[in-house]
Structure 1
Amino acid sequence: MSTRTLISPAQLARPRGKVLYWTVFTLVVGGFTLTFLGPLYWLISSGFKDAQEVIRTPPTLVPETFEPGNYQQAWDVMDLAELLGNTLYYAFGALAFQLVLDVAAAYSLSKLRPMFGKAILGMMLATLMIPATVLVVPQYLTVLDVPIVERNLLNTPWAIWLPSVTNAFNIFLLKRFFDSIPQELLDAASMDGASPMRILWSIVLPVSRPILGVVSIFAVVGVWKDFLWPLLTLPDPAKQTLNVGIYSLSNGVPVNVLIAALTIASLPTLLIFLIFQRNIMSGLTAGGLKG
């Protein structure tokens, strides 16, 4: 059976059809490229301009005044080194908690199958339908005075780490991957005397590297790009994240230096995506074992 396409091979073989096809293809790809890369180019190029050129109307496409010292000034004046260290600490702490607790939750729901497991999974997925802004107030009141232990978690890493653990989307991704692991493989290990914890450590985790990579990237990027929650829970300037710190120091800084700081803040996550984009796609599409 031939594959159905928008344009038939016969029409594509004609000179007129070939010209029309490649014209439309070039326009569509070029339009999407400009849409996605245009703001990024403006951000990076504006960091090299002086303050007057940045606010000029209409804006200049190529910087007329090339000032690379803006990036060094942004690094020193806004103390980006400390803010970057804080953000890395929060991000990789959240990653560690998510890998331990989310993997345990997904493994339990997928392979151990506890009582009311489907109901628990359904309620967890239902939380994805709730807008994140609706949960800000109850979450803030919780970290302000944690029930039972009666502790105030403001200005502590726990205010960032604990809410990030309750990630229903990551648990669903992990469970979906664990479901694709053949049960016969786990039964064979169980017959050899392996405990559920040993099966998880020696069999499930080694074959789950693609999805673990995806969850890791989501965890780091989620903390890195978050703004509202760190703004509420980390009022101490010495403990703020990169985004909140730049916002707090933006009033007395020239606009070109501020844009340079924003460029520096966006580079780590951009590099993570460019380096691990294949891992992201392979992890999201992985649905079984080969061999």
Structure 2
Amino acid sequence: MRTLVRPAVLRTPRGRFVYWSLLVLALVLFTVAFILPLYWMVTGGLKSSAEVARNPPTYIPEEWHPGNYADTWDRLELARYFGNTVVLIGGAWLLGLAIQLPAAYALSKLRPRFGRVVLGMMLLTLMVPATALLIPTYLTVTDVPFLGLNLVNNPAAVWLPAAANAFNIYVLKNFFDQIPGEILDAARIDGAGALATMWRVILPLSRPIIAVVSILSITALWRDFLWPMVVLPDPAKQPITVYFQRIADTTSLNMLIAGMVLASIPLVVVFLVFQRHILAGLTAGSLKG
């Protein structure tokens, strides 16, 4: 087995010392790189407005103001914009799964005619920069083809583009390809149709990858700023990311930082709750017999 360090070197005291020293140093540097911005953000919300703007900055708050978070929640009316964000993300996530799962199942197991062509065209959209698609997508939601609907200031303007995610379909299809065809044949022998097979066989086996796709979708939607700002000009319907940008010039810096910390908590909680499924999905490549 080829490794970066020869086993003979690791058996010497000097080799072990150098190896473990570099490993610990690398782990410490990576930990600091990830933890320091979080620490800076959380402590920034605990400082006074004058202390946040001080130069040079203080690394530990001279005066602790934990009440900043409660004041930020009440004064900035974050509950309303959290609600807007949940509606946008929840609708886009559910609609996305309703479209992406059957599409991936059809391309993987039903093998329709011209399925490879359809998959290739979907993957081709991944090569196009998102900004290049901004104007065509906006023109589409302002005048939906065949329906003539204007979806501006409607949550569907966020739901529909987010549901058409070629990357998620490709990831799901690759996972479905690993499921043995014998399992589907057994379901067909028992009288299950294509829809019943997907619902009763495919989806229960696909929980890890569904969790991965869900987390990726929710994270991307929660951080999205440009598209909601364009299609939701009404301030009362905007998500929390657009709301923070709109009030940035009129809000004290410490309250703005505290609001950003509060806006980050749901994503952290979702990751901690579903991390087991995420790790299982990332390492999924085969099925146990």
Contact 1:78/1:246 (<8 A) preserved: no
Task: Please list every run of 5 or more consecutive structure 1 residues that lacks an aligned counterpart in the other structure.
Answer: none
Residues 102-117 of structure 1: pairs in structure 2 closer than 5 A: 102-117=100-115
Query: What residue is the counterpart of 2:230 in the other structure?
Result: 232
Contact 2:72/2:259 (<8 A) preserved: yes
* 1: CA distance, partners of 2:187 / 2:17: 60
* 2:105 is the alignment partner of 1:89: no
* 2:247 is the alignment partner of 1:242: no
Residues 4-43 of structure 1: pairs in structure 2 closer than 5 A: 4-43=2-41
Contact 2:89/2:218 (<8 A) preserved: yes
Contact 2:88/2:158 (<8 A) preserved: yes
Q: Structure 2 counterpart of 1:67, which letter? A: H
Query: What residue is the counterpart of 1:253 in the other structure?
Result: 251
Residues 144-223 of structure 1: pairs in structure 2 closer than 5 A: 144-223=142-221
Residues 65-80 of structure 1: pairs in structure 2 closer than 5 A: 65-80=63-78
Deviations 1:169-221 (A, max 9, x none): 11011111111111111112212221111111111111111111112212222
CA drift at 1:274: 2.9
Greater shift, 8-17 or 117-126, is seen at 8-17
Q: Secondary structure at the match of 1:262?
A: helix
Residue identity (%): 51
TM-score using structure 2 length: 0.96
* 2: CA distance, partners of 1:200 / 1:119: 23
Q: Structure 2 counterpart of 1:240, which letter? A: Q
TM-score using structure 1 length: 0.96
User: Would you identify which runs of 4 or more consecutive aligned residues in structure 1 move more than 6 Å?
Assistant: none
Q: Secondary structure at the match of 2:218?
A: helix
CA drift at 1:22: 1.7
Deviations 1:43-76 (A, max 9, x none): 1110001112112222221111101111112111
Contact 2:207/2:277 (<8 A) preserved: no
* 2: CA distance, partners of 1:52 / 1:23: 41
Q: Structure 2 counterpart of 1:76, which letter? A: D
* 1: CA distance, partners of 2:97 / 2:281: 15
Query: What residue is the counterpart of 2:45 in the other structure?
Result: 47
* 1: CA distance, partners of 2:63 / 2:137: 47
* 1: CA distance, partners of 2:70 / 2:175: 44
* 2: CA distance, partners of 1:4 / 1:56: 53
* 2: CA distance, partners of 1:68 / 1:122: 53
* 1: CA distance, partners of 2:202 / 2:37: 42
Contact 1:106/1:175 (<8 A) preserved: yes
Q: Secondary structure at the match of 2:249?
A: coil
Contact 2:81/2:238 (<8 A) preserved: yes
Q: Structure 2 counterpart of 1:223, which letter? A: L
* 1: CA distance, partners of 2:125 / 2:211: 24
Q: How many residues in Structure 1 have an aligned counterpart in Structure 2?
A: 289
Q: Secondary structure at the match of 2:64?
A: coil
* 1: CA distance, partners of 2:38 / 2:272: 14
Deviations 1:137-191 (A, max 9, x none): 1111111121221111011110010001110111011111111111111112212
Q: Secondary structure at the match of 2:74?
A: helix
Query: What residue is the counterpart of 1:58 in the other structure?
Result: 56
Q: Secondary structure at the match of 1:206?
A: helix
CA drift at 1:281: 2.4
* 1: CA distance, partners of 2:261 / 2:190: 54
Contact 2:153/2:237 (<8 A) preserved: yes
